[in-house]
Structure 1
C-alpha cells in the first residue's frame, strides 16, 4: 500500500512540474549534452542576443544587437526555469555586445562599436534614469565591432574594455599608441575618456572577445579569435592554424604585475596548432608562436618566442571563443565557442569547460590539445552555421545556473547538472526568485490533496 502511494505521489509531482513548466522547442536538432549535465531552451524570438548579466534582484539583462538592452524576470524551481515579462531597458540599436553591472546594481554599462555608456539603473523597477552618458569613446574600427566589458571585482573601480583591429591582419597594430587589438583599463567613475587614455593591460591581441577575472585569485584571462587565411612562406595553412588562444594577463591588484603592457604577438606572431601543416617548423611545438613574415618567416620564430608573450592554452582554429565565465571557486572556466565560418569541416558551436588548479592556472599544459571539455553542442555540426545554435554570452544566476545566449537563433539556454542541480554549487540557492516557493507550495498542496483523496 505505502509503495503504491509513494509511486502515486512521485507521478503526481512529475505531472505537476511538467504542467507548470512550459517547454520550448528549437527548429534544429536537439543539442548534444554531456553526461551529468542538462540544457533547456528558455527563451526564443530575441534579436541576435549577445552579452548577458544578472542584477541583484535576479533579473536577466540581455544585449540584443540592433535593439538595445532587454530584461526578463526569472521564475524557477529546481527542475524548471522560465523567463517572463520581457521589457526594453535601454532602447539603443547601436549597442551590440558588451554589458556589465555594478555590485549594487545601481550602475549599468553597455557598449557600441564606438563608445561605452553608463546608465543609472533601478533593479526594483528594471528601468534606467535618463539616457545615460558616454564614459569612453574613440573605438570605431572597420573590422571587429564588439567591445567586451569586464568590471573587476577584485580591484575596485577598474573597467576593462577589449577592442579588436581594423582588418584580418592589421599591420597598424604594431604601434601600441593606436589603441587597436588591445585590452585597456579605465576608471568607470570618469567620463569623456578616449580609448587611448586607458592603461594598456595587453596588446597584440587580434580580437580578445572573451575576458574574465578569476574570483579566487584575481587573475585576468582573455580568449582570442585569431586570424583567417594566413600563409607562411607562400603556403596556405589556414585550415588548422593559427590556434585560438587563452591568454593570461596577471592580477589587476598587483602593482608589480609582470604581464602588464605585454604584447601577445599579433599581427606578427601566432600560436601553433598543427605544426605538421606549417612549412619549416623546426622545433616548433603546439602552443608556441610562429611568424608569418613574407620572407624568411622561419628566421623570425625566435623573435616570436622571446619577445612576445605566449598563450597559456590554445584551442582548435576557427572555433571562435566569445565569452568566459569562472565558477565561484575558480575551479572551472566556461567558454562559448561561436563556431567556424572559414573551415571545410565546421568546428566549435558549443559550450565547453576548462579545469583549473588551486594555484589559479589551468590543469592542462600549454602544449595540450585537450584543455576544452564540451558540455553542450550541436548534434549535427555539418548543418552549421545555417541550421544550428551559436553560443555567444554567458551569465550566472544566484542559484548557480549558467545561462547561454545564441545570437544566430535568437535564443537563451540554461545549463545545469543532472536533476536540475546547480552547475556552480558554491552559489547560494537562498536568493532564488520568490516564484519558486509559490510554485513549490502549489505542487505540494496538489500532491497532498491527491494523497488524501486516494485514502478516502
Structure 2
C-alpha cells in the first residue's frame, strides 16, 4: 500500500472520529420526564444534569401558508385577525376596542457568556426566526365592523427601540423600549402618535432577555415594569444584573420607584388576579441543567418576594453552578405557584374576564402563550394553554391546550405564539411573531362570561417576624390551627 493511500485512510479515520465526537458532544440530553410531569402545582424536579454544551433542538419557522391555522380545542374556532405583520409581539387592547401591537425584535446586544456563546446564540436566533433587525414599530389595528378581522391598520410610531410593554390611561400611552420607559400623549381612537415622548425612566438595556413588559395598577397610579436578567445564571457577574431579574414599581405622580419583587430570571406576562387583586406573572427559568429542568412558571408576586435567581430555583433548590455567597437567605425564597413545563418559554398572560367568550370550559382561569423551547428534546411549548383556577383564585390541575402545538413533527414549526389579549367582542387574541399573524380564538355562539367576584374577608393579623416562606407554614400547621378539609 502506497504511503499516500495510508495518509488518506488515516485522514478519513480521523474525520470519522471527529464527526463521532461532535455528534456525542452535541447530541444533547433527551427528556426523561413527560412535559406534563413538569407542570402543575407539584411538578417533578429532576436531578440536575449540568451541561457545558446545551441541549439544542430549534424548530425552524415555516409559516402557515395562505389558509393554514392552528388547531383549536373542541368548541373553539380560530381565524386570522390580522396578518402580514413584521414580528408582532405585545398586544394591548384599548377601551374602545382598538388593538395596539408592537412590531419588535431584539436590539443589537452582547449575550453573556463570551464570544463562543454569542456566535452560537446568533446561529440559534437566526434558525428560530429571531435574527432579523427589529422593526421598532407601534401599530394600531381596528376591527370597526366587529366581524373578527381588522380592516384598518395604522403605524403610530416607527422610531422606537425594541419596544414591548404597553399601557394606557387618562390620555397617556406608556411604551417600554428595551432601555427606557416612555410616555406619550394619546387620545384613544387617534390613528397617529406625533410629538416627542417624555422619558419616565431608564431601564437596564438589552441583555439576554430584552423584553420589558408593563402593567398599570388598578387605580392607575402606579406602573409595574418587568425586566429580565442579562444572563442565564449571572455568569457575567452580579454587577451586570443590577436592576434586572425583577419587577419594579413606579409611582406616576411622584416618580418614586422601588424594587417590587426580585429573583425572577425572566418575568414576562403581567396581570391582576381577578379573585384577589394580586399581581401575577409568567417567568422563564434557567437553562443548561438538562431537558427536564427548570420548569417555567406562573406565580403571584407579593411585594418584597424573592424567587431565588440565580442561587436557587423552584423554592430553595440550590444551583451548584452559581459560586460565591448567597444573595438571599434560602429560608426566604418563595416557591412559585404553578409550573408550566421545562423550557416552554411562557410569555403572554391574561385571566378570564367579564364578557370573554371562550365557552364554559375556559371561563375561570388563566391563559398563557408558551413561545416554545430551543433547548429541550423533544421540543415543548409552541402552544396556548389554559390553567383552571378554583373559587379562591388558586391554580389547580394540569394545563389544558387552547391552541394545539404549532410544531409540524418534522423539526419545523408553523409559528410561535407570543402574547395574548382580548378583543372588543370577548375573543382571545394571540400574536404569532414568526408567522406575522394575530390569531383570534372564541367559542361560536357562547355568551359573555360573568364577572369574577373579588374575594373579600377579614384581614389576618400582621406577622411580626418572617421565618422562611410563609406558605410553608401551612404544610405543617401549628397545633390548634385547622386547615380546610382537615
TM-score norm. by structure 2 comes to 0.66
Report if the CA contact (8 A) 1:346-1:382 is conserved. no
C-alpha distance in 1 between matches for 2:253 and 2:409? 47
Q: Are 1:409 and 2:476 an aligned pair?
A: no
Q: Deviations over 1:344-403 (max 9, x none)?
A: 211101111111122222134xxxxx2x1111023544346x432211111112321111
Determine the structure 2 residue equivalent to 1:354: 387
Q: Are 1:339 and 2:372 an aligned pair?
A: yes
**Quick one: structure 1 residues 174 and 93, their matched pair in 2 at CA, closer, same or farther if it must change by over 3 Å?**
closer
**Quick one: structure 1 residues 182 and 28, their matched pair in 2 at CA, closer, same or farther if it must change by over 3 Å?**
farther
Q: Are 1:201 and 2:271 an aligned pair?
A: no
Task: Please give the root-mean-square deviation of Cα atoms over the aligned residues, in Å.
Answer: 2.8
Q: Are 1:34 and 2:62 an aligned pair?
A: no
Q: Are 1:64 and 2:109 an aligned pair?
A: no
Q: Are 1:162 and 2:226 an aligned pair?
A: yes
C-alpha distance in 1 between matches for 2:88 and 2:189? 23
Number of residue pairs the alignment of both structures matches: 349
Determine the structure 2 residue equivalent to 1:4: none
**Quick one: structure 1 residues 176 and 308, their matched pair in 2 at CA, closer, same or farther if it must change by over 3 Å?**
farther
Report if the CA contact (8 A) 2:417-2:430 is conserved. yes
What does residue range 167-178 of structure 1 map to in structure 2 within 5 Å? 167-170=231-234, 178=242
SS of match in other structure, 2:409: helix
The alpha-carbon deviation at position 319 of structure 1 amounts to 0.6
Report if the CA contact (8 A) 2:250-2:257 is conserved. yes
Report if the CA contact (8 A) 2:96-2:424 is conserved. no
The alpha-carbon deviation at position 129 of structure 1 amounts to 4.2
The alpha-carbon deviation at position 87 of structure 1 amounts to 0.9
**Consecutive aligned runs of 4 or more in structure 1 exceeding 4 Å deviation:** 171-177, 294-297
1:137 pairs, out of 182, 202, 213, with 202
Report if the CA contact (8 A) 1:183-1:203 is conserved. yes
Highest relative contact order (Cα 8 Å, sep 6+), 1 or 2? 2
Determine the structure 1 residue equivalent to 2:472: none
Report if the CA contact (8 A) 2:64-2:415 is conserved. no
Q: Deviations over 1:392-419 (max 9, x none)?
A: 11111232111111111111000101x2
C-alpha distance in 1 between matches for 2:429 and 2:338? 24
C-alpha distance in 1 between matches for 2:208 and 2:322? 26
Unaligned runs of 5+ in 1: 1-23, 192-196, 231-237, 250-258, 272-287, 365-369, 428-456
Determine the structure 1 residue equivalent to 2:296: 244
Q: Are 1:324 and 2:391 an aligned pair?
A: no
Q: Are 1:90 and 2:157 an aligned pair?
A: yes
Report if the CA contact (8 A) 1:207-1:226 is conserved. yes
What does residue range 94-133 of structure 1 map to in structure 2 within 5 Å? 94-102=161-169, 104=170, 106-133=171-198
C-alpha distance in 1 between matches for 2:83 and 2:136? 15
The alpha-carbon deviation at position 243 of structure 1 amounts to 0.8
**Quick one: structure 1 residues 206 and 127, their matched pair in 2 at CA, closer, same or farther if it must change by over 3 Å?**
same
The alpha-carbon deviation at position 128 of structure 1 amounts to 2.4
**Quick one: structure 1 residues 337 and 76, their matched pair in 2 at CA, closer, same or farther if it must change by over 3 Å?**
farther
**Quick one: structure 1 residues 420 and 185, their matched pair in 2 at CA, closer, same or farther if it must change by over 3 Å?**
same
Greater share of residues in strand: 1
Q: Deviations over 1:250-273 (max 9, x none)?
A: xxxxxxxxx3212101101112xx
**Quick one: structure 1 residues 177 and 239, their matched pair in 2 at CA, closer, same or farther if it must change by over 3 Å?**
closer
Report if the CA contact (8 A) 1:345-1:382 is conserved. no
C-alpha distance in 1 between matches for 2:153 and 2:410? 31
Unaligned runs of 5+ in 2: 1-62, 105-134, 355-362, 452-486
**Quick one: structure 1 residues 35 and 166, their matched pair in 2 at CA, closer, same or farther if it must change by over 3 Å?**
same
Determine the structure 2 residue equivalent to 1:54: 93
C-alpha distance in 2 between matches for 1:67 and 1:156? 26
Q: Are 1:221 and 2:280 an aligned pair?
A: yes
Report if the CA contact (8 A) 1:95-1:110 is conserved. no
Q: Are 1:187 and 2:213 an aligned pair?
A: no
Determine the structure 1 residue equivalent to 2:409: 382
SS of match in other structure, 2:271: strand
SS of match in other structure, 1:403: strand
